[in-house]
Structure 1
């Protein structure tokens, strides 16, 4: 069965198998080794006279490089991206720095502002209806605002 397959095809099959296992057993580990196997398949295709020992060394190096790429380059970037994800379900914090229009004047420190197609309670200095405000903080479901400059 495998007699008609070139060696680089076997590396690509190994890569597909490892990536499929990663899908079945997720953990970011087999994926990178599978990428190393795929890269070794590309090398074996580009250099058809490569010995089996050279292919094994190339696979080891490619797999280690792929794992290092994940560990030292991609993983820190993904973790930095989590900072935005932490606010995903806390919409009020996403509004800090944004400007909105009062739909109810702020009297005795309380009013309402139009935010998208909804309304939010606001706390801030007394301001008339229609005034522009900037969100400077959040307290529960109430936005802390100041007059927009």
Structure 2
């Protein structure tokens, strides 16, 4: 009698325990299994008198489905990459492809270009002051440029 009356409560307690484990050890996996347990509790509430075997199979299926929904539907939407995220703290790499004006002629492969309100060391073929150059690579704090 206890199992038929309060079985849904037991599934909800299992769900809360699994979700609490998720809070302690984050990673989303236990959360979705907990959601499967909560859904099993709702199913047992809606369809009372179900056997323990049916409940176990329903839990396994619902846990698998909820994990699959997370993995294939929600996870790709949550993992969006903003442009420049990979180069967030590498400002020189963010400048690749940009065009800038030389404020100091490139002589013997070295010069300076205006980038925003600052100046960067550049290396490339010898070019006069005022030439527009394109950044093609970064080597340390020096921008590798070509006429552009």
Q: TM-score range with shorter-chain normalisation?
A: 0.5 to 0.7
Going from structure 1 to structure 2, the CA distance change for 1:23 and 1:85 (only over 3 Å counts) comes to farther
Write the mapping of 1:34-49 to structure 2, written as runs, cut at 5 A: 34-40=34-40, 44=43, 48-49=46-47
Q: Aligned residues, how many?
A: 138
User: Structure 1 residues 58, 139: CA separation in 2 closer, same or farther (over 3 Å shift)?
Assistant: same
How well do the aligned residues superpose, as a CA RMSD in angstroms? 3.8
Normalised by the length of structure 1, the TM-score is 0.63
* Greater Rg by CA: 2
Gaps of 5+ in 2: none
* Runs of at least 5 residues in structure 1 that lack an aligned partner in the other structure: none
Name 2:126's counterpart in structure 1: 126
Question: Map of 1:46-57 to 2, 5 A cutoff?
Answer: 48-49=46-47, 51=50, 53=52, 54-57=54-57
Q: Which of 50-59 and 119-128 deviates more?
A: 50-59
Matches of 2:40 and 2:103, distance apart in 1: 64
Residue 30 to residue 107, structure 1, CA distance change in 2 (3 Å) = same
Name 2:103's counterpart in structure 1: 103
